[in-house]
Amino acid sequence: MYKKSKLKNGLRIILAPMKSTKTVTVLVMVGTGSKNENEKNRGISHFLEHMFFKGTKKRPTTLDITKELDKVGGVYNAFTGKECTGFWTKTDKKHSSIALDIILDMLLNSKFSEEEIKRERGTILEELNMYLDNPIMHISDLFENLLYKDQPLGYDELGDKKTIASVKRKDFIDYYKKHYTNNNIIIAIAGSFSEKKIKNNIKRYFDKPKNNSVKKQNKTCDKQNNPKLFIKYKKTDQTHLCLGTRGYNTDHKDKYVLSILNIILGGNMSSRLFTSVRERNGLAYYIHTSTVDYKDVGYFVAQSGVNNKKCLDAIKIILDEFKKVKEEKISAEEIKRAKDYLKGRTNIALESSDAVASFVANQEMDTGKILTPQEKFAKIDIVTADDLQRVARDIFVDNKLNLALIGPFKDKKKFEKVLKF
């Protein structure tokens, strides 16, 4: 499915040829994100991501970059996470050389001009305001803030208004030199392309030696002794909540067990929470669960938007469903449905070149090991009812429970009373 190699300078290249597609995706991932930040430069990873689109020596302006991709119908974007930053393009296979040239030109030759930094502050502040005004987006940030508090993993990727307004060009240059090093970069190419041509083009860009030191990411304290609650008062038409527990890191032996439990509880429209909260009780339009795993910690969470007056009812139902999987073994039929759903969704996604690029690059970034879909499915297939109950009993306990709310509430006591198993 893929070919992985490493240049002498430490750069990792993953090539994933796909005969059945007419597209090619170029994905560059860098092992740095908000987890690498501190109190003084919060948000710099995301701000820097924006600056890569602001001009290079070869393409001096944003328009010079974007029109070159637009004229070939390319799709492109970038993202900043807690532990990595990524840049990608997806084009017709005829334009793979253009896509690669633009992405690597941005990565290696961006100017980070003072003028563009000043201009982009306003854009990022408006992006931050958009998230703050959107409870569906903002509630997950508040949940991570609750879990990890003042640690870098608890920082919002966008930063805060103070640091966005004060970061200087020197800060960008220093951060770039420290973290955008060859052995902290992965280039993944998926789709239809000439392997020899792509690899030679990459080598041409990285022919010069470069600092190869990698700054280690901050370790996260994951201790908790009692249930935690955070309420952000806001006059809203519905309450948005995240209710969850501490889970497992990306390399944990029970990661796949939790992924099955996630599907059963809230991973699709036939899941237990969707059925109980929405279909049977009409308390929400949306409700779902998800697992998030970082290199050293992780969590499991249910998210929903519910009727303000029936918020407590929804919380109780969610906790009841969590409690049931602790006390009652899940049937073989339900487990099989969840496994088949996971495998089916994976196969559907991997028909797309951008999903394949992400599939291999994320695994390499997280663990340095890339499993094929079949190898992942084998780990899913061996999950048993006993495994699911054991994991449920491990994570669904009072001292791992956390609730974040956005809604018209000021009284914490009524929520604290129900926040227990």
**By the 8 A CB rule, do 110 and 55 touch?**
yes
The CA-CA-CA angle for residues 383, 387, 392, to 5°, reads 125
Average pLDDT over residues 324-342: 98
pLDDT of amino acid 40: 92
Other beta carbons within 10 angstroms of residue 107's beta carbon come to 19
Average pLDDT over residues 148-175: 94
The CA-CA-CA angle for residues 93, 76, 10, to 5°, reads 80
DSSP string, 7-43: -TTS-EEEEEE-TT-SEEEEEEEES-SGGG--TTSTT
Average pLDDT, the chain: 95
DSSP label of 398: G
Strand (E) or helix (H) holding 196: helix 195-205
Q: Catalytic annotation on 49?
A: yes
Ordered domains of the chain (ranges, CATH): 3-205 (3.30.830.10), 228-418 (3.30.830.10)
Provide, rounded to the nearest whole percent, the portion of the chain with pLDDT above 70: 98
CB neighbour list of residue 53: distance below 8 Å, 6 or more residues apart? 62, 65, 66, 78, 106
What is the Cα–Cα distance from 15 to 35, expressed in whole angstroms?
28
pLDDT of amino acid 209: 55
What are the tens digits of pLDDT across the range 350-406? 999 999 999 999 999 999 999 999 999 999 999 999 999 999 999 999 999 999 999
What are the tens digits of pLDDT across the range 95-117? 999 999 999 999 999 999 999 99
Provide, rounded to the nearest whole percent, the portion of the chain with pLDDT above 90: 94
Q: Which of 37, 49, 144, 321 is catalytic?
A: 49
What's the chain's length in residues?
421
pLDDT of amino acid 191: 97
Other beta carbons within 10 angstroms of residue 109's beta carbon come to 14
